[in-house]
Amino acid sequence: MELDQLVRTARHKDPLEALKAVGALRRVIERLEELQVERARAALISWEEIAIQLGVTKQTVHRKHAPRIKGGRRR
């Protein structure tokens, strides 16, 4: 399903249809976050700056993403 269709469906009158679309949107957002965090770290952007841009703490973003990113443990 296209992104714009997912957004429309997330406002569906049927709560189950809407929740299904919300779940799909969540998966898309999670994957986009993973991709952009990987790109940011490859560009030597600090965990602190990434966290600021995501609106979370440095510890939160590091705990979530560092284990799967090569060199992710660097401060």
**Each residue of 20-47: pLDDT tens digit?**
999 999 999 999 999 999 999 999 999 9
Q: Look up tokens 């995501």; give the residue.
A: 54
38's tokens = 């990987």
Q: Which of 5, 59, 61, 7 is nearest to 33 (CA)?
A: 61
Residue 66 is classified by DSSP as G
Model-level pTM? Answer: 0.82
d(CA 73, CA 75): 6
Task: For the chain, give percent helix, strand, coil, nearest 5.
Answer: 70, 0, 30
State the chain's mean pLDDT as an integer: 93
